[in-house]
Structure 1
Amino acid sequence: MNHVKIEEQVTGIVGQSGSGKSTFLRLLNNLDTPSKGNIYYNDRSLVDIDPIKLRQKVVMVPQTPVIFDGTIYDNLVIGHEFCGQRSPQEKELQEMLQMLQLDKDLYINASELSGGEKQRLALGRVLLMDTAEVYLLDEPSSALDDKTAEHVLGKVIDFSKNHDKQLIMVTHDQDLAKKYADKLIKMDMYSYNVEGEKV
């Protein structure tokens, strides 16, 4: 496996279907194991890091978001409960929903949300996690219309930069990737190409 070092704060990954974009994200937080080579996080091989502790720092939002039984509130705080942290105040949760244009009551059942609303709820959940250092986003705007996608993605990226987080996102929308990414990785079935600063 060739060497790719990701240092920029926002990295976009684009490429044809089947080129391995989602697999690449899963490798980065040890949901999949590489057949050869090593992946390092803070100069430590992922095989030497407890997977649970790694995933508290390198947090992934899959293309089909995981929504847990219960309310919106339950879904927003479950990451904190899992890590043994204090849950955010309701005001913080409401501000996150507002930022992501999710105008819903905290105590409605999350199963009632549309696909796009569930996607935004999953994004809000990871943004609220204090332990997170890296956000891995797999097609974070796939269930959103163009206008909402641009707003939400812009807010997510602003949030990650303001809180000194790293963000790596797979997207089919090359225009969005070019607009927001500091570095762009283009993948195809057999290789990748890394484009330089602010494409």
Structure 2
Amino acid sequence: MFSIKGLVYKDILAINRLELLGNKIICIVGESGGGKTTLLKMLNKLVSPDKGEILYNNISLKDIDSVNLRREVVMLSQIPAIFEGTIKDNLLIGLKFSEKPMVSDKVLEEALSFIKLNKNLEDNSENLSGGEKQRLALARVLIMNPKVFLLDEPSSALDEDTEKFVIEKLVNHTRKNNKTLIMVTHSKSIAENYYDCLIEIKEGKIINIKEVK
């Protein structure tokens, strides 16, 4: 799915070669400041390398329109954007930005239930806690129905039980629907329990790759 060749970005990343296969759970771990988030951003064209090339389905990202790419490859930042308005407004805004068809309230409510957020669609999003906002943003990404999820610390604001519940649901959804999940995580237990491919990054370099045989 993604192929990286000779990638260099400032003094943050230096990756000679990396293959990220589709329909997999790919976990990226490592020390803070090691380049994990920067790598995710590059897969979404939020950051461009100084040298080297990134291919998506054998096509260089340079040759893919950013909007078209982001319809298929959706990134969720560690501190997600929450917009003024209702929960419903926030769930639909991803579809608006990506120019995808709107969905029914039933679909929105199912997404909230999926990520264990017991709220009404007309509730004000600004009244949510940090963990609730993170789950709301996850629901928004799920509704966009991309081929690839790029998630940066998707459970950092969640308590341990909720983290396990949400990550397990995301992993099962990914496998069931033949999608790809590329996840930066601070949790070694999450990474070890769910990975198909586990990538460890240190000081911008890949120091270990472990794959399920």
Give the TM bin, normalised by the shorter chain.
Answer: over 0.9
Q: Which residue of 2 aligns with 1:33?
A: 48
Question: Deviation string for 1:13-32 (max 9, x for gaps)?
Answer: 00011110000100111100
Q: Which residue of 1 aligns with 2:149?
A: 135
Q: Which residue of 2 aligns with 1:15?
A: 30
Q: Which amino acid aligns with 2:159?
A: D
Q: Which residue of 2 aligns with 1:6?
A: 20
Distance 1:164 1:146 in 2: 27
Q: Aligned to 2:140, which of 125, 129, 133?
A: 125
Distance 1:69 1:136 in 2: 24
SS of the equivalent of 1:38 reads strand
Query: Is 1:86 the equivalent of 2:101?
Result: yes
Q: Aligned to 1:146, which of 154, 157, 160?
A: 160
Q: Which amino acid aligns with 1:110?
A: S
CA pair 81-34 structure 1, distance change in 2 beyond 3 A:
same
Query: Is 1:182 the equivalent of 2:184?
Result: no
SS of the equivalent of 2:80 reads coil
The normalised TM-score by structure 1 is: 0.95
SS of the equivalent of 1:34 reads coil
Distance 2:178 2:162 in 1: 24
Aligned-pair CA distance for 1:93: 1.1
SS of the equivalent of 1:64 reads coil
Structure 1 window deviating more from structure 2 (81-90 vs 42-51): it is 81-90
Give the paired residue count. Answer: 197
Q: Which amino acid aligns with 1:72?
A: I
SS of the equivalent of 1:105 reads coil
Structure 1 window deviating more from structure 2 (188-197 vs 167-176): it is 188-197
Q: Which amino acid aligns with 1:105?
A: N
The normalised TM-score by structure 2 is: 0.89
State whether residues 86 and 124 of structure 2, in contact with CA within 8 Å, keep that contact through their aligned partners in structure 1.
yes
Query: Is 1:108 the equivalent of 2:123?
Result: yes
Q: Which amino acid aligns with 1:188?
A: K
Matches within 5 A, 1:23-102: 23-102=38-117
CA pair 190-60 structure 1, distance change in 2 beyond 3 A:
closer
Query: Is 1:173 the equivalent of 2:171?
Result: no
Question: Deviation string for 1:50-69 (max 9, x for gaps)?
Answer: 11111111100000001111
CA RMSD of aligned residues (A): 1.2
Distance 1:81 1:160 in 2: 23
Show structure 2 runs of 5+ residues with no match: 1-5, 7-15
Show structure 1 runs of 5+ residues with no match: none
SS of the equivalent of 2:75 reads strand
Distance 2:63 2:137 in 1: 28
Distance 1:45 1:83 in 2: 21
